[in-house]
Amino acid sequence: MSAGVIALEGLVVGRGRAVVAGPFDAALAAGEALVVTGPNGAGKSTLLRTLASLLPPLGGAIRLSGLAIDGEPAERIAEVAHYVGHRHGMKSQIAAGDNLAFWARYLGAGAAGAGRPGGAPLSPAEALAAVGLPGLEAIPFGYLSAGQQRRASLARLLVAWRPVWILDEPTSALDAASQQRFAALVANHLAAGGMAIAATHQPLGLDGATTLHIPPRSGSGDVPGPDGEAAPAIDDAALAEAEGWL
């Protein structure tokens, strides 16, 4: 089992210079899960996007130790993580299996998976079977039902090894049996020395997970600029470009 640790030290997260949530202090070791809870708009997705290096921290630090990529110490979680956000990251008109084959190639499944704890990465067909979609690899992703689409997008976690799974509402649209199946996949990942950070409104059935509860937001809490000026209005176009929505 690897011995990685992720530590959040006074981490403050936000959009533009507007503080959304924090400061957070938490630590996560290999084999552990962090479940992020809180009401709508509290900042769960903002925290996860910050951990996934899609947004810069507004304060504090994210410290990594013992996490490596190609033998080099990782400097950012993104280098060693899968991030599954609200959007699936799959193309509707392309077969589910081909979408997963793309991710396996893009994520370098062979190299990153070599010698990983828990065995080699799964093929697209195996990964679809593992999320309860056996034999559906030739079906265009867009033909799948909402719950099937979510499950196929989660199958991406299995086609390339990454020690850290960052998951935003992973079980939304999943029925009870699919939620249980997914909880078992996360438990296997943790048993293989992985880590999971998940924002959710539904219990994930992870025994021993640490919970980080974000309370409802109060006040704007903008971070002043270096010159003491008030924070500028958020530029949605610039944010969209930085976050890759375009």
Ligand X SMILES: Nc1ncnc2c1ncn2[C@@H]1O[C@H](COP(=O)(O)OP(=O)(O)OP(=O)(O)O)[C@@H](O)[C@H]1O
Q: Which residues bind ligand X (CB under 6 A)?
A: 15, 20, 38, 40-46, 234, 239
Least Å distance, CB 230 to ligand X, is 16
DSSP 92-124: TTSBHHHHHHHHHHHTTHHHHHTT-TT-SPPPH
Q: Considering beta carbons, is residue 14 or 194 the nearer one to ligand X?
A: 14
DSSP 177-235: HHHHHHHHHHHHHHHTT-EEEEE-SS----TT-EEEEPPPP-S--BPPPTTSPPPPPP-
Spell out the residues 6+ positions from residue 21 whose beta carbon is closer than 8 angstroms to its own: 12, 13, 14, 38, 42, 43, 46, 47, 214, 217
Cis peptide bond upstream of 39, omega within 30? no
In this structure, what are the phi and psi dihedrals at residue 157, rounded to the nearest 5 degrees? -60, -20
Least Å distance, CB 123 to ligand X, is 33
Q: Considering beta carbons, is residue 1 or 238 the nearer one to ligand X?
A: 238
Least Å distance, CB 94 to ligand X, is 27
Least Å distance, CB 40 to ligand X, is 3
Q: Considering beta carbons, is residue 114 or 146 the nearer one to ligand X?
A: 146
Q: Considering beta carbons, is residue 45 or 99 the nearer one to ligand X?
A: 45
Beta bridge partners of 192: none
Query: What tokens were used for 227?
Result: 């010159």
Cα atoms in the 13 Å half-sphere on the side-chain side of 65: 7
Q: Considering beta carbons, is residue 40 or 218 the nearer one to ligand X?
A: 40
Least Å distance, CB 87 to ligand X, is 12
Least Å distance, CB 76 to ligand X, is 20
Q: Considering beta carbons, is residue 20 or 131 the nearer one to ligand X?
A: 20
What is the DSSP secondary structure assignment for residue 41, as one 8-state letter? T
